[in-house]
Amino acid sequence: MSKRLTFFSKYRYFIFLSFISLFVMNHTHASFHGPISVMGDHTHKKDEWMLSYRYMNMNMDGLKSGNNNLSRADIFNAGYMIAPLDMTMEMHMLGLMYAPNDSVTLMLMLPYIKKEMQLVTSPMKMGMVPANKRFETVSEGMGDLSLTALVNVFESSQHNHHLHLNLGVSLPTGSIDERDDTFMQNNIKLPYAMQLGSGTVDFKPGITYSGNTISGPTYSWGAQLSGVLRFGKNDNGYRLGNELQLNTWFAKHWADWIDTSIRLSGKWWGDVHGNDNDVKKMQHMIPTADNNNYGGKVFDIGLGLNFHPKTIMAGNRFAVELSKPIYQNLNGPQMTSDWTVTAGWQWAF
């Protein structure tokens, strides 16, 4: 098992920045935020900045093909020698936003990712593969850098309805050559799901609407349609599938410093096109090495809690959201999502 960092060392930069922000007075404006898991949900006024940190922890447990749950025995009966048991992905996302004018807000997002997958071999010894052998693979490092322009399209005279375009590009700064040692072989190439980036320059278009009530008990709501369009193939001979995602949310503002939200989302994505030749060698050994075992659709529900402190902490936002799938249909056999926790801090100045 990999070493676990202590809480303080793991979050020392987040704690330090939060402490510094306590002593900074600011009076900035941003339209109502969406849940912390939604990126590019709001814009800023001219010369405003926002620094953000998000932590996401996603757990995957179990297997599906289409709508059908699969057991470990189903994987082995299909001829695979190794079955994935569970997988966790941790992501630390640093973000920076700046508005050079009232019409455009620029956004930069850089993730640091760690993936861990637990696996087990077939209960029957197959050649050099021992029976019931449990092992782990790990990948860790920088992900793909995203650069986005949020372009205002419409804002009502009372500032309670807002529409903007999300025009982004993802640069291939994440590794697609991650390897790890296993009981079978040292420095073996890890399957597509364990890589840290796409390896391609990807276009990330989207459109976001947000609204809120003007008076009385305050509510806010919004919707965002976004996609990832990938072109060509990466240096290893494949490209990940295109993606389409729809997020909708509704929030109740209990006071001017706290609100709760509910989010419904749907995500559709395609399979892997082409093959990494090193990974292809294992496609009959483990499902994650088969490029056909990717893609599908999933619908999630998320519950969020948001704090907007006042006085000396004005401009800060602390938020957390727990989400869980309510429907999954996967091109499998493929690992299923179990739950995701996203927590974050944003500081506008």
Vertex 191: Cα angle to 278 and 230 (nearest 5): 95
User: What integer pLDDT is reported at residue 216 of this predicted model?
Assistant: 62
- As a whole number of angstroms, the distance between CA 234 and CA 231 comes to 9
The pTM (predicted TM-score) of the whole model is: 0.88
- The residue ranges of every structural domain in the chain are 7-348
- As a whole number of angstroms, the distance between CA 91 and CA 99 comes to 26
User: What integer pLDDT is reported at residue 32 of this predicted model?
Assistant: 66
Closest CA to 212 of 41, 341, 36: 41
Long-range contacts from 291-294, C-beta under 8 angstroms, 24+ separation: 291/192, 291/238, 292/331, 293/331, 293/332, 293/333, 293/334, 294/192, 294/193, 294/240, 294/241, 294/269, 294/270, 294/331, 294/334
User: What integer pLDDT is reported at residue 197 of this predicted model?
Assistant: 98
Vertex 278: Cα angle to 272 and 282 (nearest 5): 80
- As a whole number of angstroms, the distance between CA 137 and CA 186 comes to 11
User: What integer pLDDT is reported at residue 265 of this predicted model?
Assistant: 98
Closest CA to 141 of 173, 117, 103: 173
User: What integer pLDDT is reported at residue 22 of this predicted model?
Assistant: 39
Closest CA to 105 of 22, 166, 171, 24: 166
Which CATH code, of 3.30.200.20, 3.30.300.20, 2.40.128.130, 3.40.630.10, is assigned to 7-348?
A: 2.40.128.130
Contact 278, 259 (CB under 8 A): no
- As a whole number of angstroms, the distance between CA 50 and CA 44 comes to 9
DSSP state of 16: H
CA distance readout (Å), 331 to 10, 236, 247, 315: 35, 22, 22, 44
- For each of the chain's 349 residues, which pLDDT tens digit applies? 444 444 445 555 544 544 443 333 333 334 468 999 999 999 999 999 999 999 999 999 999 999 999 999 999 999 999 999 999 999 999 999 999 999 999 999 999 999 999 999 999 888 778 999 999 999 999 999 999 999 999 999 888 999 999 999 999 999 999 999 998 889 999 999 999 999 999 999 999 999 999 876 689 999 999 999 999 999 999 999 999 999 999 999 998 889 999 999 999 999 999 999 999 999 999 999 999 999 999 999 999 999 988 777 778 999 999 999 999 999 989 999 999 999 999 999 9
